[in-house]
């Protein structure tokens, strides 16, 4: 429902996983197979010599340090910023408006209905039910269109289809009031709240 | 935008077509939403991965910044670190090296598998004409357990239901001396499943325990 970048998540996690796998397998081989050890020492020794030559060739005039360290530090800062941006993308996509439309009447202006209208109305309508331990309603934006997500936490043993049928009727009433058909997702969720709440005795 | 016109015209009975775009794209969007709801977003793994990379970068940044301004290193000078890595099988006990490698491999396997596996969540869809519905398998199991418990006339501790993608396993431990009809339990559970109609429909399997519970 939210705009978590799923493909990006898969790609980045996959890259990190492959790198860790390669490093781990190399470490294990180094510990067990002597031939790998001698190969590693000659190969990485060459790489390290190359890096050393690079550092020697890029010194600040008249000083000991190389400016490659500054470049490395900047690259690391950039990587950190990218990682923070990536984490900030997770779970994004909440919207404020349920409806934004131009009023075709004689009065100038347009009509906006906040998502809070639907959230409060549905939440209050569902709060009275004895078979629910809790309900949350949130507005999301899916491809530029507002959509509602209703999460229901039923008490143990409640049949989900009766619950969703009633919710569906509530949504129909809301649509009649707002005057717009909004995509609605109902998630009947299990969780600590439904697991540890008392079962509904009387029906 | 035409949805507001609908409101002014109470005889108009189809806000569905007014809400912008053909119904086809709306159903496509719903399909996509349901697809996303039944599969994991891997947000947790992404958070862990990003945190790991950030921590590593911060440490490397500290050491390389310290090096750039010519101060003594905090933990290890990059130069010595690189030299130690180059001479790797030497300078560290092979057991420690192997265990470190195993731990890193396990972490890599976790990330790699969570990236390539489909990541299906334990959820079923319900059919509803107006709204899209996903139900956690645990909720379905709890509803089935209630029906099975009433049909078998036992307490709720004697029934355990496990619902997976294609199977619902009902385990009943009868009260000692009180016979429980397996068919009655199966009938009740299947009846409940039929009226619930989850997609995909799980097949019911009932297991009656051979030993009973005393004093329940």
Asked if the model's pLDDT at residue B2 lies above 60, the reply is no
Query: Binning pLDDT at 50, 70 and 90, where does residue A201 land?
Result: low
Is A125 within the bounds of a domain?
yes
Is A131 within the bounds of a domain?
yes
Residue with more model confidence, A88 or B71: A88
pTM of the predicted protein model? 0.77
User: Contact at 8 Å (CB) between A189 and A155?
Assistant: no
- Quote the pLDDT of residue B25: 60
Helix (H, G, I), strand (E, B) or coil at B56: helix
The residue-averaged pLDDT of A52-80 equals: 80
Taking the Cβ of residue B209 and every Cβ of chain A, the question of whether any pair is shorter than 8 Å is answered with no
The residue-averaged pLDDT of B148-160 equals: 88
Domains for chain B: give ranges and CATH numbers: 3-37 (no CATH), 43-116 (no CATH), 123-208 (3.30.300)
Asked if the model's pLDDT at residue B20 lies above 80, the reply is no
- Residue A53 sits in the same domain as residue A115: no
Is A150 within the bounds of a domain?
yes
User: Contact at 8 Å (CB) between A4 and B41?
Assistant: yes
Residue with more model confidence, A64 or A71: A71
Q: Which residues of B touch A2 (CB under 8 A)?
A: 41
- Residue A67 sits in the same domain as residue A112: no
Angle between helix B43-68 and A68-89 (nearest 10) = 160
- Quote the pLDDT of residue B190: 93
Phi, psi (rounded to 5 degrees) for A65: -85, 150
- Quote the pLDDT of residue A203: 44
The residue-averaged pLDDT of A74-81 equals: 92
Candidate from A31, A145, A181 with C-beta closest to B101: A31
Give the residue among A137, A188, A122, A185 at the shortest CA–CA distance from A158: A188
Domain of residue A173, CATH code: 3.30.70.1350
Q: Is the peptide bond before A199 cis (omega within 30 degrees of 0)?
A: no
Is A16 within the bounds of a domain?
yes
Asked if the model's pLDDT at residue A176 lies above 80, the reply is yes
User: Cα–Cα distances in Å, from B178 out to B21, B50, B152, B153, B171?
Assistant: 61, 58, 10, 9, 16
Last residue of a domain, one of A89, A111, A127: A89
Asked if the model's pLDDT at residue B6 lies above 60, the reply is no
Which of A108-112, B20-24, B50-54 ranks highest by mean pLDDT? B50-54
For B119, the token pair is 């990541």
- Residue A77 sits in the same domain as residue A106: no
Is A200 within the bounds of a domain?
no
Alpha-carbon distance of A195 to B148, in angstroms, equals 18
Asked if the model's pLDDT at residue B12 lies above 50, the reply is no
Phi, psi (rounded to 5 degrees) for B57: -65, -40
Alpha-carbon distance of B168 to B145, in angstroms, equals 10
If contacts are CB pairs under 8 Å, which of residues 101-160 in chain A contact chain B? 101-105, 111, 142-143, 145, 147, 150, 154, 156-160
Is A157 within the bounds of a domain?
yes
- Residue A84 sits in the same domain as residue A106: no
User: Contact at 8 Å (CB) between A1 and A149?
Assistant: yes
Is A203 within the bounds of a domain?
no
Residue with more model confidence, B203 or A71: B203
- Residue A103 sits in the same domain as residue A189: yes
If contacts are CB pairs under 8 Å, which of residues 48-67 in chain A contact chain B? 48, 51, 64-65
Alpha-carbon distance of A98 to A146, in angstroms, equals 6
The residue-averaged pLDDT of B160-180 equals: 90
The sheet that has B203-208: what strands, in order across it? B159-163, B167-172, B203-208
User: Contact at 8 Å (CB) between B170 and B177?
Assistant: no
Alpha-carbon distance of B154 to A54, in angstroms, equals 78
- Residue A40 sits in the same domain as residue A106: no
Taking the Cβ of residue B60 and every Cβ of chain A, the question of whether any pair is shorter than 8 Å is answered with yes
Sheet strands (E) in B37-190: 123-126, 132-136, 159-163, 167-172
Give the residue among B15, B135, B28 at the shortest CA–CA distance from A164: B135
Candidate from A41, A70, A101 with C-beta closest to B86: A41
Domain interval for residue A20: 6-89
Last residue of a domain, one of A59, A89, A119: A89
- Quote the pLDDT of residue B187: 92
- Please give the full DSSP string across chain A, using - where no structure is assigned: -----HHHHHHHHHHHHHHHHHHHHHHHHHHH-HHHHHHHHHHHHHHHHHHHHHHHHTBPTTSS-BTHHHHHHHHHHHHHHHHHHHHHHTT--B-SEEEEEE--SSS-SEEEEEHHHHHHHHHHHHHT-TTEEEEEEEEEEETTEEEEEEEEEEPTT--HHHHHHHHHHHHHHHHHHHTS---EEEEE--SHHHHSSPPP---
- Residue A10 sits in the same domain as residue A79: yes
* ipTM > 0.85 for the complex: no
Query: Binning pLDDT at 50, 70 and 90, where does residue B141 land?
Result: very high
Asked if the model's pLDDT at residue A100 lies above 90, the reply is no
Asked if the model's pLDDT at residue B216 lies above 50, the reply is yes
Last residue of a domain, one of A63, A89, A115: A89
- Residue A101 sits in the same domain as residue A186: yes
Alpha-carbon distance of B196 to B127, in angstroms, equals 9
- Quote the pLDDT of residue A112: 86
Instruction: Enumerate the β-bridge partners of residue A134.
Output: A153
For chain A, the domain total comes to 2
- Residue A118 sits in the same domain as residue A34: no
Is A201 within the bounds of a domain?
no
Q: Which of A51-55, A128-132, B26-30 has the lowest mean pLDDT?
A: B26-30
- Residue A111 sits in the same domain as residue A85: no
- Please give the full DSSP string across B193-204, using - where no structure is assigned: HHHH-EESPPEE
Candidate from B39, B64, B129 with C-beta closest to A72: B64
- Residue A101 sits in the same domain as residue A178: yes
In chain B, which residue's Cα lies nearest the Cα of A5?
B41
Q: Encode pLDDT of B94-137 as tens digits.
A: 889 889 999 999 999 999 999 988 888 889 999 888 888 999 99
Q: Encode pLDDT of A16-37 as tens digits.
A: 999 999 999 999 988 888 888 8
Q: Which residues of A touch B133 (CB under 8 A)?
A: 160, 164, 185-188
Mean of the per-residue pLDDT values of chain B: 82
For B203, the token pair is 């097949």
- Residue A115 sits in the same domain as residue A168: yes
Alpha-carbon distance of A178 to B191, in angstroms, equals 38
């Amino acid at each position: 429902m939210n705009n978590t970048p799923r493909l990006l998540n898969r790609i980045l996690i996959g890259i990190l996983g492959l790198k860790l796998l390669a490093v781990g397998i190399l470490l294990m081989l180094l510990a067990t197979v002597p031939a790998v050890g001698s190969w590693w020492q000659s190969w990485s020794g060459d790489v390290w010599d190359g890096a050393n030559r690079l550092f020697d060739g890029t010194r600040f005039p008249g000083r000991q340090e190389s400016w490659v360290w500054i470049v490395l530090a900047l690259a690391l800062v950039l990587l950190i910023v990218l990682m923070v941006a990536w984490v900030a993308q997770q779970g994004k996509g909440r919207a404020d408006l349920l409806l934004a439309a131009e009023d075709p009447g004689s009065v100038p202006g347009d009509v906006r209905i906040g998502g809070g209208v639907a959230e409060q109305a549905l939440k209050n309508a569902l709060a009275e039910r004895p078979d629910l331990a809790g309900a949350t309603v949130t507005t999301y934006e899916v491809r530029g269109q507002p959509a509602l997500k209703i999460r229901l936490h039923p008490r143990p043993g409640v049949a989900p289809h009766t619950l969703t049928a009633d919710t569906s009727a509530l949504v129909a009433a809301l649509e009649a009031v707002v005057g717009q058909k909004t995509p609605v997702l109902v998630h009947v969720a299990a969780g600590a709240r439904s697991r540890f709440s008392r079962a509904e005795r009387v029906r | 935008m035409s949805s507001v016109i609908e409101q002014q015209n109470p005889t108009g009975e189809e806000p569905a077509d007014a809400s912008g775009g053909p119904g086809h794209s709306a159903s496509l969007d719903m399909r996509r939403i349901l697809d996303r709801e039944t599969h994991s977003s891997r947000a947790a793994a992404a958070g862990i991965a990003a945190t790991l990379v950030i921590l590593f970068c911060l440490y490397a940044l500290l050491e390389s910044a310290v090096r750039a301004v010519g101060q003594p290193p905090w933990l290890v000078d990059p130069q010595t670190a690189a030299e130690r890595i180059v001479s790797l099988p030497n300078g560290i006990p092979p057991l420690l090296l192997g265990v470190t490698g195993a731990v890193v491999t396990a972490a890599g396997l976790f990330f790699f598998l969570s990236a390539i596996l489909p990541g299906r969540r334990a959820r079923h869809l319900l059919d509803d004409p107006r709204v899209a519905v996903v139900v956690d398998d645990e909720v379905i199991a709890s509803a089935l357990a209630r029906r099975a418990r009433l049909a078998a006339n036992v307490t709720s501790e004697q029934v355990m239901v496990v619902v997976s993608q294609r199977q619902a396993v009902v385990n009943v431990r009868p009260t000692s001396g009180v016979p429980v009809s397996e068919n009655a339990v199966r009938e009740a559970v299947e009846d409940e499943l039929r009226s619930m109609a989850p997609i995909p429909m799980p097949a019911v399997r009932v297991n009656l325990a051979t030993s009973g519970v005393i004093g329940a």
